[in-house]
Amino acid sequence: MKIKPFKTSDVSSIALNILLYGHAGSGKTTQIGKMYDRYGKGLVLSGEGGLTSISDKEIDYLPFYSFDHPVDKKVHPNGYSFMDIMGYIRSPEFAEQGYKWIAVDSITELSRRAFMEAQAENPDKNNNFKPYQIYTQKLDPLIGDLRDLPMHTLVTALAAEETDDNGQTHFYPMLHQKSKQKKYAGDFDLVCGMVTKTAEVDGKVSLKRYLICDQVHGWHGKNRDPHRRIKAVETVNDVTELVERLRAPKPKGIAA
């Protein structure tokens, strides 16, 4: 068997995974529409039911109503468990569809459902720690599976607030277990907090969105950009623009 190594500098062919988190109404779901505008056909795994903001676009989606428990088809005749959908994503049928990207909206809701099911599965109702163990066994492998998909993956989350001993407020992607909020962010190539600010000029109110891609004012963003093409705070309202910067070839004049 002939083996040909890849080049780490050839990032244009690398699929990236993005975690985008923010408060309700900050515009996270709208970014799914940006994925469609730039990359074409994609699939949304929706647990929120809040896709109205992208209803002007013809984007495929599959609703999930559980993590891995069977869905009551009498209640949700067109619904699936999340793991049912992941099984489909691994299938030849999915490969034939030609999807370019996947979005999960949201991991906050997915995490909530996973913990509810972990509680239901707990064989010892007097053991309050067992549901967390089951929850971890469910969620940890899934994060790896999402990270390793051979296409761009956008995952949304609500923002959780946490105040430290010095009174500083920190913002993390909201998951059921606080330790997971910090742990899972490390599995993504790009982590952005989405913040909206309003300003009034001459009596007119305008709304501006910012993507926080580093450690700024308590927000915990991250980007794997060795060429520093992504600023700590970006005024762009399109996360795919940052994805393209990460995938751009090495700038001329920069040593390997």
Evaluate if residue 16 carries a pLDDT over 90: no
Evaluate if residue 214 carries a pLDDT over 60: yes
Bigger pLDDT: 121 vs 26: 121
Worst-scoring range by mean pLDDT, 42-51, 132-141, 191-200, 209-218? 191-200
Evaluate if residue 181 carries a pLDDT over 70: yes
- Band of pLDDT at residue 198, cut at 50, 70 and 90: confident
Evaluate if residue 177 carries a pLDDT over 80: no
Evaluate if residue 96 carries a pLDDT over 70: yes
Bigger pLDDT: 238 vs 250: 238
* pLDDT tens per residue, range 41-56: 999 999 877 788 888 9
Evaluate if residue 163 carries a pLDDT over 80: yes
Contact 185, 172 (CB under 8 A): yes
Provide the pLDDT for residue 219: 92
**Domains of the chain: residue spans and CATH:** 11-192 (3.40.50.300)
Provide the pLDDT for residue 256: 47
Bigger pLDDT: 52 vs 38: 38
Evaluate if residue 11 carries a pLDDT over 60: no
- Band of pLDDT at residue 115, cut at 50, 70 and 90: very high
Evaluate if residue 124 carries a pLDDT over 70: yes
Contact 171, 219 (CB under 8 A): yes
Worst-scoring range by mean pLDDT, 11-25, 57-71, 159-173, 214-228? 11-25
Q: What percent of the chain clears pLDDT 90, i.e. is strictly above it?
A: 43
Residues 107-143 as b/e (b if ≥16 CB within 10 A, e otherwise) read bbbbbbbbbbbbeeebeeeeeeebbbebbbebbeebb
Evaluate if residue 66 carries a pLDDT over 70: yes
- Band of pLDDT at residue 32, cut at 50, 70 and 90: very high
- Band of pLDDT at residue 226, cut at 50, 70 and 90: confident
Bigger pLDDT: 252 vs 117: 117
Q: Which residues contact 69 (CB under 8 A, 6 or more apart)?
A: 81, 117, 120
